[in-house]
Amino acid sequence: EVLGITTVGGNVPLELTVRNALMMTELADRTDVRVHRGSAGPMTRPLVTAEYVHGETGIDGAELPEPITPASGRDAVDFIVDTLRNRSDVTVCTLGPLTNIGHALQRDPSIASNVEQLVLMGGGFFEGGNRTPAAEFNI
């Protein structure tokens, strides 16, 4: 069960990550899963994007129609906090920067105990690079 998708500025600016998430939900025929607009940039520094890696849109090379489904009107941090306050069986899976999670935990630290499992895309310990605490883009 996918409860929702939150977006964050990262490889590309926030508006493009929202657009990309909406396109993916439509491609997967899962428009029942709402996309919530999240943080535009990191908590403590300006946003640095990576269009040079992922292209101007963040998914360059994919030819997909513009999304029809709108993003939810609900803030991603509100969605995370409310979801974790009301459920204790949630696996949080992050594929980008952890900014929304950080803001949610700042707002209500007690929600951490309701995270059953945290799965994140970050680092490559057994590979060259990404070996220092500051080397990983998503963390």
Classify 5-120 by CATH class: alpha beta
pLDDT digits (tens, 9 = 90+) for 27-61: 999 999 999 999 999 999 999 998 998 899 999 99
Domain residue limits, the chain: 5-120
Say yes or no to pLDDT of 88 above 70: yes
| 108-122 per-position pLDDT tens digit | 999 999 999 999 987
The 3-state secondary structure of the chain, one letter per residue: CCCCEECCCCCCCHHHHHHHHHHHHHHCCCCCCCEECCCCCCCCCCCCCCHHHHCCCCCCCCCCCCCCCCCCCCCHHHHHHHHHHHCCCEEEEECCCCHHHHHHHHHCHHHHHHEEEEEECCCCCCCCCCCCCCCCCCC
